[in-house]
Structure formats: structure tokens, C-alpha cells
């Protein structure tokens, strides 16, 4: 449906904003373009409807080379939604939505019924909104109008450039959900630009990651998360990994290293002193090779007076994870695990760490604070 073949864009000042990118998306797919500010997302988008002429390679829409199309006709057959909705302030909502049908010279009755239908589709009652002006609407409502306008002439492709970027998080999520709901029926080919990975993962059938005008990776969300092409992609998805996709977080990233351990031969009294020093109330018990044998708590030690070593007191550990496990495995077990801890061992059973509720929380919390930093 949409194909880029070695496409480049060099602006007249000589700056190469897009470098030799190639990709293809099928009909009815949502492609999300993502990357840091200035990486070439908007340029890539605007080359599709020829608001920006490309300077190298070929772009095909429905098999046709767009450089051979009339740019005005091309634009009328593509919906375009931008960040501040891009509504005309001196036009009513009705006239804004009817813009392309008007340009296409639809008959007035057909246009009116289409506008009504589109407003309903995006959740705006036509009776209440048709005659209003953009500034009388909230940001979220304006974006809905933007979406209605993009859909009005039933285009084959819809281009959306950070359409929800200026909305508060709740409205933003609502509009994302609605876009997905609409898409179930409409099956449009959509190119959606964002710099928010969470939005990309939620909406994209495919995600294309751009950096300095180059296409770093294009893949399904699953593939991006499980096989990031390089460190840049990894960094970009980092903050989203843990709570969205704990199955891709290695357990070694959420465990605490150097847990308090003791060999089984230690006396209960010495073990107790050691626990006080370490300010812990549980000890992992191991053999001399460091292999996990059991677990013992301060309570076990204090209520046992006859044992000569902690090996006689310890309990077997029913919940253990190997170091190849993921954060999801830990999340699934942590509430059941005795003492609220899960030892992590190598394939050979040697203790390498421990997952606790607090180590999981710390991992989550650091994700959240990263995100806050980014927002502020």
C-alpha cells in the first residue's frame, strides 16, 4: 500500500533530514514513526503527501509513484491530522470537517450527511458541535474534529503527526483507544508520528525507529521489545520495558545481588549475629560451593535451641528462579513466596541474587521517575 524505496530528503540549505530509507506497509496497517526530536519524522510524513518533495528514491502509494501524481489530488486522497488539530479558526466545526468533501465538490446534501456521520463517529454530538467554532472546544474535542476531518472524504491513507501530543494523559489515552476502535471497522492505512514509545507500542502494527534521518529498525512491537536492533533502540524502549512487558526484562535486572547467605554448618548463634549485622531477617543457606540448600529466618533461629547448625533448622525453598527467568516470572511468584523473597540461582544451583517485593518496587519506581524526568 505504501512503499519507500531508498528515499532521501536534502533540504535546499543542504541539510539531509532523511537518509536513504526503505520500508513497506500493507493496507489497513498502522505504521508508527518514532524517534527523538529532529530525527526526520515530520519530513518523512510530509514526503508522503508531497508537502515536502523528496530528493532521492521513490515513494509508491497503491503501487503508483507519487512523483507522477498531481500533488493536490494526492493530498485530497490523504487525511492529515497534526498536533494542534490544524483547524481553521474562522470556520465552524461543520465546515472544518467538510473541508475536503467541499474541495472535492461533493453535493451539499451528501457533504452534510457525511459531516454528521463523522462527528458522531468521533463521539461529538452534531447537534451540539456542528455550529461551534474551534476555540469553543477543548483540546481533546478539537483533536476529535481533526480526526473527523481526516476521515471525511474516506481517504486511503491517513497521516497523523503527533496528533495527541498536546493533550493531557487521560484524554490522550481515550483518543488512542478510540482510534483503535475506529480502526477495527475502518481498516485505514495509517502513518502515525509520535515521540512516545508507549503510544507507539499501543497503536503500531509496525514501529519504525528513526535516528538522525536514518531508519534504525522497523518491526512489530513485539520484535522491537524482544530484539532491539541496537543500544539506541534499547535505550529508547528502556523506560517502557518493565511494566509493559515484564516478560522481556531479565530477572537479573530486578534482583538484588549479594543476598545474605550462610553455609549450612554455621551455628545458630553466629548466624543470628550475622543477620543483625546485615539488618536482615532471612538467610539463604548454601553448601560450600554456594549452591542453594534452604532458607532460614530469624524467628526459626530464635525458636530453636537444640540445633548445632543452621542446616538442621533451615526449610527447603519451594520458590526459586533460574537466572534465565524474567521479571514476569518473579511478579507471578512474589506474592506466594514464603518470606516474600525468591532466590535466584544459576543453572547449577549457585545463588546469584534474590528478588524481593522491594527490589521489584525499586525497579518499577526507577522506571516511573525516569518517565517523570522526561515529562518535566
Stretch that binds ligand ADP, among 37-45, 85-93, 121-129, 251-259 (CB under 6 A): 37-45
82-108 CB burial, b ≥16 within 10 A, e <16: bbebbbeeeebbbbbbbbbbeeeebee
Which of Mg ion, ligand ADP, none is residue 17 near (CB under 5 to 8 Å by kind)?
ligand ADP
Nearer to ligand ADP, 15 or 299 (CB): 15
Q: How far apart are CA 90 and CA 86, in angstroms?
A: 12
Q: Which is nearer to ligand ADP, 53 or 108 (CB)?
A: 53
Query: By CB under 6 A, which span of 30-38, 199-207, 286-294, 364-372 interacts with ligand ADP?
Result: 30-38
The radius of gyration of the chain from alpha carbons, rounded to an integer in Å, stands at 29
Q: Among residue numbers 82 through 141, which ones bind ligand ADP (CB under 6 A)?
A: none
| Residue 43 site contact among ligand ADP, Mg ion, none (CB < 5 to 8 Å, cut-off depends on kind) | ligand ADP
In the complex, least distance from residue 334 CB atom to ligand ADP, rounded to whole angstroms: 40
Any idea what DSSP says for residue 211? E
For residue 40, the partner it binds in ligand ADP, Mg ion, none, with Cβ less than 5 to 8 A by kind, is ligand ADP
Q: Considering only residues 29, 30, 32, 41, which one is a binding residue for ligand ADP as defined by CB under 6 A?
A: 41
Size, binding site for Mg ion by CB under 5 A? 2
128 closest CA partner among 111, 145, 143 = 145
Closest CA to 147 of 128, 170, 174, 127: 174
C-alpha to C-alpha distances, 18 to 173, 213, 285, nearest whole angstrom: 30, 4, 58
Grid coordinates given for 98: 467538510
Our finding on whether 43 is near Mg ion (CB under 5 A) is no
The alpha-helical segments, DSSP class H, found in the chain are 41-48, 71-76, 93-97, 99-103, 108-121, 126-129, 139-152, 169-186, 197-203, 221-226, 231-244, 268-278, 298-302, 327-333, 357-375
**Distance in Å, CB of 210 to ligand ADP, minimum:** 7
Nearest residue (CB) to ligand ADP, 8 versus 309: 8
Q: Which of 43, 282, 297, 367 binds ligand ADP (CB under 6 A)?
A: 43
CA atoms within 13 A on the CB side of 235: 7
Phi, psi of 208 (to 5 degrees): -110, 125
In contact, 274 and 301? CB cutoff 8 Å: no
CB of 29 to Mg ion, least distance (A): 21
Among 42, 176, 217, 244, binds Mg ion (CB under 5 A): 42
Q: How many residues does the chain have?
A: 376
Whole-angstrom CA distances from 339 to 20, 57, 74, 191, 260 are 56, 62, 65, 50, 14
- Out of 7, 21, 40, 119, which residue is the one contacting ligand ADP (CB under 6 A)? 40
Please state the closest distance from residue 160 (CB atom) to ligand ADP, in A: 13
Site string for ligand ADP, 8-27 (x = CB under 6 A): ---x-x-x-x----------
Closest contact distance (angstroms) between CB of 143 and Mg ion is 16
Q: State the number of binding residues for ligand ADP (CB under 6 A).
A: 12
- Going by the DSSP 8-state scheme, the letter that residue 100 receives in this structure is H
The residue (of 106 and 232) whose beta carbon lies closer to ligand ADP is: 232
Return residues touching Mg ion (CB under 5 A): 41-42
User: Given the rule CB under 6 A, which residues bind ligand ADP?
Assistant: 11, 13, 15, 17, 35, 37-43
Amino acid at each position: 500500500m505504501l512503499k519507500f524505496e531508498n528515499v532521501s530528503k536534502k533540504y535546499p540549505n543542504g541539510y539531509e533530514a532523511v537518509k536513504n530509507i526503505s520500508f513497506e506497509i500493507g493496507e489497513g496497517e498502522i505504521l508508527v514513526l518514532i524517534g527523538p526530536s529532529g530525527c526526520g519524522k515530520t519530513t518523512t510524513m510530509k514526503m508522503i503527501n508531497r508537502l515536502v518533495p523528496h530528493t532521492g528514491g521513490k515513494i509508491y502509494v497503491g503501487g503508483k509513484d507519487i512523483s507522477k501524481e498531481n500533488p493536490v489530488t494526492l493530498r485530497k486522497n490523504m487525511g492529515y491530522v497534526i498536533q494542534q488539530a490544524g483547524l481553521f479558526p474562522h470556520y465552524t466545526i461543520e465546515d472544518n470537517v467538510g473541508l475536503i468533501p467541499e474541495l472535492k465538490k461533493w453535493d451539499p446534501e451528501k457533504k452534510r450527511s457525511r459531516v454528521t456521520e463523522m462527528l458522531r463517529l468521533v463521539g461529538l454530538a452534531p447537534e451540539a458541535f456542528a455550529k461551534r467554532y474551534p476555540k469553543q472546544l477543548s483540546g481533546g474535542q478539537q483533536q476529535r474534529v481533526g480526526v473527523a476531518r481526516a476521515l471525511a472524504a474516506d481517504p486511503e491513507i491517513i497521516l497523523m503527526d503527533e496528533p495527541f501530543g498536546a493533550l493531557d494523559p487521560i484524554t490522550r489515552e481515550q483518543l488512542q483507544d478510540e482510534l483503535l476502535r475506529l480502526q477495527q471497522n475502518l481498516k485505514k492505512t495509517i502513518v502515525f508520528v509520535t515521540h512516545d514509545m508507549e503510544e507507539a507500542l499501543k497503536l503500531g502494527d509496525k514501529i519504525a525507529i528513526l535516528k538522525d534521518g536514518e531508519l534504525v529498525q522497523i518491526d512489530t512491537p513485539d520484535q522491537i521489545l524482544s530484539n532491539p536492533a541496537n543500544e539506541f533502540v534499547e535505550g529508547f524502549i528502556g523506560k517502557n520495558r518493565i511494566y509493559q512487558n515484564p516478560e522481556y526484562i531479565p530477572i537479573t535486572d530486578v534482583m538484588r545481588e549479594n543476598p545474605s547467605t550462610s553455609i549450612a554448618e554455621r551455628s545458630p548463634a553466629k548466624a543470628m549475629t550475622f543477620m543483625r549485622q546485615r539488618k536482615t531477617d532471612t538467610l539463604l543457606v548454601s553448601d560450600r560451593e554456594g549452591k542453594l540448600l534452604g532458607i532460614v529466618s530469624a524467628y526459626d533461629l530464635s525458636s530453636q535451641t537444640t540445633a548445632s547448625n543452621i542446616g538442621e533448622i533451615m526449610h527447603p525453598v519451594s520458590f526459586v528462579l533460574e537466572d534465565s527467568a524474567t521479571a514476569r516470572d518473579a511478579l507471578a511468584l512474589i506474592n506466594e513466596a514464603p518470606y516474600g523473597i525468591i532466590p535466584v540461582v544459576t543453572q547449577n544451583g549457585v545463588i546469584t541474587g534474590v528478588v524481593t517485593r522491594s527490589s521489584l518496587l525499586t525497579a518499577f519506581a526507577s522506571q516511573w521517575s525516569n518517565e517523570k524526568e522526561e515529562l518535566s
